[in-house]
């Protein structure tokens, strides 16, 4: 028997929780599905903080300009304006809901990060900002009696009928069997796809399933080639690539090569505070020049007392590996971190498929362009999560759930899924390696073409839903990267190292359709 609710939110990061609260506050029944515990998301791992205009020496115009510069000519100005102007209101609301950002003498503390012209980054508990925001939002969501949080419910596909998304198919966490859940609208807040790469700062849940589900349902995907690699992930053999926050360089951290030399001056006049894509490429170039697998982040000019208070989680994690961030040089190298591309949406979270909305890293709103400005992601999740919830509510005012039942033919088609594959681990491992080696920080036609051939060969196997999604996403990123014959933001082509004005357009991919381009991400429905 199929289940029903008014609205389905997939994902419990900042975007998902904020959209759920927006819906429930209007009296709607909301079911939040997440494939892990409710607090497990990319949001929880966001260390550096959230960028917002609240300090006396800052204004929305400066924040907007910094975002546009970082985006390398591909930001949507209207989306950026929406982010920076509405962001202040939503951060103040978070504070009213009990979010405890760090303060000194009762005043909010702001820090500096790369490519920001002002100290506008709020943080919580030093380097656990995302975790604190999730805590406050989960508490707020649980206060709404109309919100049902359903952890360990893995969504497998979207239900589409008459060219409208009408629900989802998910794995019931108790019965361990497929179930259907119908709703007036579905809001995807499933985060990014950092796990596509062999080396990533993202948690294990960041496999891009939401993007793949939207693609297979017929929604348009935009700018999939733009992947941001964080410059400084802790590089220790047999250890996960733990993120060493951008804020560490903002507080004065210096990058050194194996000879102890500060090298960023050879690549960019902004030194360690250059945009992430430039710092990442500079590190790769320096590693190649010196024949090493890492460089070093030097925080030794700062006191141990300050570092322990400012970066408590990083301090304790490094300590587990016998590293003292106040005394030792920290071995670092780049790792995949954030997807600028994703489900194409308008300024209200509407995808190109009716009934399907999206917010957060799963989307491409035009806010980030070709390269996300540090600490804009949490703000995007808040602002556009709320906007997506409000739009879904308004757009579905006249809908009746009784019209959303499946036909027998649709139910039989739903059960005709690919068989579970026994090669899931091998498939994922191979895709991650190919993505890192051939669709990584430095790209060219030959490596991208070879990657696409390999993905097509893997896709011919009888794969499970999750493996099919994983390979499909890898193919979308590689296809976009092969098409874009220029270097811009997070996308760098060795064979096309210059930015080209004729490529100042967005790549749009849709199932069973050729690649197309658009001058704008946002669209009119």
Separation between Cα atoms, residue 519 and residue 382, nearest integer Å: 26
Q: Give Cα separations from 306 to 49, 101, 251 (angstroms).
A: 17, 17, 10
Residue with tokens 């681990």: 425
* Active-site entry in 276, 281, 344, 350: 276
119: burial class by Cβ within 10 Å (0-12, 13-18, 19+)?
middle
Backbone angles phi, psi at 375, to 5 degrees: 70, 15
Quick one: which of 66, 355, 365 has its CA closest to 223? 365
Separation between Cα atoms, residue 148 and residue 141, nearest integer Å: 9
Separation between Cα atoms, residue 210 and residue 190, nearest integer Å: 5
Quick one: which of 498, 480, 478, 474 has its CA closest to 488? 498
Separation between Cα atoms, residue 147 and residue 141, nearest integer Å: 7
Token duo for residue 482: 């092969």
User: What own/partner pairs with CB < 8 Å and gap ≥ 24 does 86-89 have?
Assistant: 86/383, 87/51, 87/52, 87/53, 87/379, 87/382, 87/383, 88/52, 88/53, 88/54, 88/60
Local structure of residue 407 (DSSP, 8 states): P
Strand partners, 5: none
Quick one: which of 490, 515, 517, 482 has its CA closest to 503? 517
CA dihedral 190, 509, 489, 118 (to 10 degrees): -40
H or E element, residue 209 = helix 209-217
The SS3 of residue 79 is: helix
**Count of residues for the chain?**
525
Token duo for residue 336: 């995949």
327: burial class by Cβ within 10 Å (0-12, 13-18, 19+)?
exposed
Token duo for residue 162: 């008459």
Number of other CB atoms surrounding residue 285 within 10 Å: 15
Separation between Cα atoms, residue 263 and residue 283, nearest integer Å: 9
Is 276 a residue of the active site? Answer: yes
Separation between Cα atoms, residue 341 and residue 227, nearest integer Å: 7
User: What positions carry a catalytic annotation?
Assistant: 276
């Amino acid at each position: 028997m199929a289940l029903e609710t008014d609205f389905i939110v997939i994902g419990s990061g900042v975007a998902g929780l904020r959209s759920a609260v927006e819906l429930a506050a209007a009296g709607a029944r909301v079911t939040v599905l997440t494939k892990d515990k409710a607090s497990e998301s990319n949001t929880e791992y966001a260390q550096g903080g959230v960028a917002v205009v609240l300090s006396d020496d800052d204004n929305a115009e400066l924040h907007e300009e910094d975002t546009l510069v970082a985006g390398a000519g591909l930001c949507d100005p209207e989306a950026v304006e929406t982010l920076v102007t509405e962001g202040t209101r939503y951060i103040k609301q978070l504070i009213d809901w009990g979010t405890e950002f760090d303060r000194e003498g009762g005043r909010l503390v702001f820090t500096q990060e790369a490519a920001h012209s002002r100290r506008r980054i709020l943080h919580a508990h030093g380097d656990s900002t995302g975790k604190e925001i999730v805590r406050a939002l989960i508490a707020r969501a649980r206060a709404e009696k109309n919100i049902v949080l359903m952890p360990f419910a893995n969504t497998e596909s979207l239900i589409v009928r008459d060219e409208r998304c009408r629900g989802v198919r998910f794995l019931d966490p108790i019965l361990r069997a497929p179930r259907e859940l119908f709703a007036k609208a579905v809001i995807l807040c499933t985060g990014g796809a950092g796990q596509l790469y062999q080396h990533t700062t993202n948690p294990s849940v960041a496999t891009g399933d939401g993007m793949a589900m939207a693609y297979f349902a017929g929604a348009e995907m935009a700018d999939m080639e733009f992947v941001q690699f964080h410059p400084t992930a802790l590089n220790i053999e047999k250890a996960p690539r733990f993120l060493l926050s951008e804020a560490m360089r903002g507080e004065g951290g210096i990058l050194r090569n194996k000879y102890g030399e500060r090298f960023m001056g050879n690549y960019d006049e902004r030194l360690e505070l250059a945009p992430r894509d430039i710092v990442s490429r500079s590190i790769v170039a320096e590693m190649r020049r010196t024949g090493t697998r890492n460089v070093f982040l030097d925080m030794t000019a700062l006191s141990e007392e300050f570092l322990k208070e400012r970066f408590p989680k990083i301090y304790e994690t490094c300590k587990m590996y016998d590293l003292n961030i106040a005394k030792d040089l920290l071995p670092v190298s780049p790792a995949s971190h954030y997807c600028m591309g994703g489900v194409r949406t308008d300024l209200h979270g509407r995808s190109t498929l009716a009934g399907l909305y999206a917010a957060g890293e799963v989307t491409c709103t035009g806010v980030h362009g070709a390269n996300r400005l540090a600490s804009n992601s949490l703000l995007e999740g808040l602002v556009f999560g709320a906007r997506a919830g409000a739009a879904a509510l308004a757009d579905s005012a006249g809908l009746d759930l009784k019209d959303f039942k499946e036909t027998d033919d649709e139910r039989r088609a739903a059960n005709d899924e690919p068989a579970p594959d026994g090669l899931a681990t091998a498939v994922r491992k191979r895709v991650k390696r190919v993505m890192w080696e051939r669709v990584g920080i430095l790209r060219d036609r030959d490596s991208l073409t070879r990657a696409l051939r390999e993905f097509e060969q893997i896709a011919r196997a009888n794969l499970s839903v999750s493996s099919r999604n994983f390979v499909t996403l890898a193919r979308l990123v590689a296809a976009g990267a092969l098409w874009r014959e220029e270097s811009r933001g997070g996308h760098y082509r060795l064979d096309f190292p210059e930015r080209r004005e004729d490529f100042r357009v967005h790549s749009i991919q849709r199932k069973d359709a050729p690649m197309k381009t658009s001058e704008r991400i946002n669209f009119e429905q």
